[in-house]
Amino acid sequence: MTKRVFNFYAGPATLPLPVLEKARDEFLDFAGTGMSVMEISHRSKEWDKAMTDASDLSRELMGIPSDYKVLWLSGGASTQFFMAPLNLQLPGKPMEYVNTGGWSTKAIKEANHFGEVKVVASSEDDKFSYIPKDVAFSEDIAFAHITSNNTLYGTEWPYTPSVPNDVPLVCDMSSNIMERPIDVKNYGVIYAGAQKNLGPAGVTLVIVREDLLDRVPDRAPTMQKWKTHAEKDSMFNTPPVFPIYICKLSLEYLKELGGVKEMEKRNVEKAFNIFIEKDFLERDNFDMVHYPFGQSTFFRYFDYAPLLHDSFSLKFKDIPRPIINVIEQKDPRGLTRIEKKTLLGLVKFPDMLDNSVAKKIGVTRQSVTKMKKRFETEGFLSTLKVPNVNELGFDIFLYIKPKFNPQISIKKGWQKHILKAYDMSRWVFIASSDLDAALLVMGKNYRTIQKNIAKAVATYKKMDFLKEYPDIKFFSLQDMVVLKNHVYGPLLEKVFAEE
């Protein structure tokens, strides 16, 4: 076999070897037809199945709702720079863009052909070295547009900006689609050139909410209407058959690996290794921390942006319901008493050997080893390397435990107002019930933090949210053990308290 190399070219990325090998094996005889996939009719049942499989896999892996259309179009993402405004324009309403790099600059240029364009935020002032924070889009606009990842400058949106109810958010995800789970419902349109994460150059994946398809003016050219391709399942004319076929194989391979969640896990590990090599993090200065019930998905210590501070952003709507259930239910996984005791011990003492954990909690070493393997296999327990967060510019660690007024329904209220109240820090972990919550926060300046906490408490008191003043503990980030002793242990003790 020809020696494979690491490909860091700016264009197409490396394809998985199993995908290339399967394409090689099927190249002369696709699906038993005796023809190459590049020769077969796009009207044949064999190709129709391949096309359907590619779309169905995209829906499955990304969780695309049924009221969205999946399109496979030619022309690259650059063609969508003008197709998006062409299809989404509304008479008399401007289009709003966030400019975060070379690709968004080009998208803005194309949009200017179709009406008024407003740039509501930009990082051009500092050579596109950051993602603007607190981006706000107007209500009376045709659509909002962002570019989720900027390969030219190494920045990535760490959060999904909110938009008014009737404003669709359009996102160019060409270089980071399927790198981690997203909620497609947050977007009206997603488009992505395939050559970074999905397959070879030559095809673009476009995901459009169905109600937006009728916006396009009648005078628009037929082939430039999304509606044209949606009505014919991307086969109004001969589609880019071979690139779509390779995308299908790549999506099958991704599913076999474990899907988008597995990709996120691998990306975090790769980023960690890169940051060590680049001396962003000290090689030996980190702790191994266990997290129960997939809570490690909350931690965005690592990001591809040079400004690592942005990696701490977290939106409440991204919190999976099972995690919130951790402090709402007494027995979320139906574990036995010994299993709960062992899981709690593993979380509280992650840096200890199995026999040491066993002595701490009063069970046998064999039990700890056996249960630990089971917990990791079944997803009860995961492990993450926690870096020295001082390297990321933070100085203070806070553990905040608010208790809420049981007479007030606060589930949505406190979540809505908390981000407005705090602007001095980055959220690392949040879980809540109607009665209380647990928050883990990193901050920079003690005086600023105190000021903002007072502001937050005043807001909650005014709304009658709080039962009492919240329990707040301050720690120096020099002592990384607080991550273990003051967050996960107490949280599980609440859940798994013995009768």
Q: Is residue 156 part of a domain?
A: yes
**Are 233 and 325 contained in the same domain?**
no
Average of per-residue pLDDT across 470-498: 51
Q: What is the domain range of residue 110?
A: 17-254
- pLDDT at residue 352, rounded to an integer: 76
d(CA 92, CA 157) in angstroms, rounded, equals: 29
Q: Is residue 11 part of a domain?
A: no
- Is residue 162 predicted with pLDDT exceeding 70? yes
SS3 content of the chain, % helix, strand, coil (to 5): 40, 15, 40
- pLDDT tens figures, 234-292: 999 999 999 999 999 999 999 999 999 888 877 766 765 665 565 544 444 444 555 45
Q: Is residue 174 part of a domain?
A: yes
d(CA 3, CA 252) in angstroms, rounded, equals: 24
**Are 213 and 320 contained in the same domain?**
no
Among the candidates 215, 230, 254, a domain finishes at 254
**Are 273 and 243 contained in the same domain?**
no
**Are 296 and 191 contained in the same domain?**
no
Q: Is residue 5 part of a domain?
A: no
**Are 128 and 102 contained in the same domain?**
yes
Q: What CATH number should be reported for the domain holding residue 337?
A: 3.30.70.100
Enclosing H/E stretch for 4 = none
Query: What does 26-61 look like in DSSP terms, one character per residue?
Result: HSSSSTTSSS-TTTS-TTSHHHHHHHHHHHHHHHHH
**Are 376 and 418 contained in the same domain?**
yes
**Are 169 and 67 contained in the same domain?**
yes
Nearest-5° Cα angle at 321, 317 to 327: 115
For residue 119, give the 3-state DSSP assignment: strand
Q: Is residue 148 part of a domain?
A: yes
Our count of domains for the chain comes to 2
Annotated active-site positions, please? 103, 172, 196
- pLDDT tens figures, 247-263: 999 999 999 999 998 88
Among the candidates 190, 222, 254, a domain finishes at 254
**Are 250 and 301 contained in the same domain?**
no
Q: What CATH number should be reported for the domain holding residue 67?
A: 3.40.640.10
Nearest-5° Cα angle at 189, 194 to 84: 85
Q: How many CB atoms lie within 10 A of CB 52?
A: 13
**Are 158 and 101 contained in the same domain?**
yes
**Are 242 and 106 contained in the same domain?**
yes
Q: Is residue 6 part of a domain?
A: no
**Are 94 and 176 contained in the same domain?**
yes
pTM for the structure as a whole? 0.64
175 secondary structure, DSSP code: T
Among the candidates 237, 254, 271, a domain finishes at 254
- pLDDT tens figures, 111-158: 999 999 999 999 999 889 888 888 999 999 999 999 999 888 878 887
**Are 249 and 294 contained in the same domain?**
no
What tokens does 462 get? 């005014």
Query: What does 241-307 look like in DSSP terms, one character per residue?
Result: HHHHHHHHHHHHHHHHHT-HHHHHHHHHHHHHHHHHHTTSS-TT-EEEEEEETTGGGG-----SSSS
Q: Is residue 327 part of a domain?
A: yes
Q: How many CA atoms lie within 13 A of 270 on its CB side?
A: 8
Question: Which of 154-168, 347-361, 469-483 is predicted with the least confidence, judged by mean pLDDT?
Answer: 469-483
Between 402 and 367, name the one with better pLDDT: 367
Q: Is residue 116 part of a domain?
A: yes
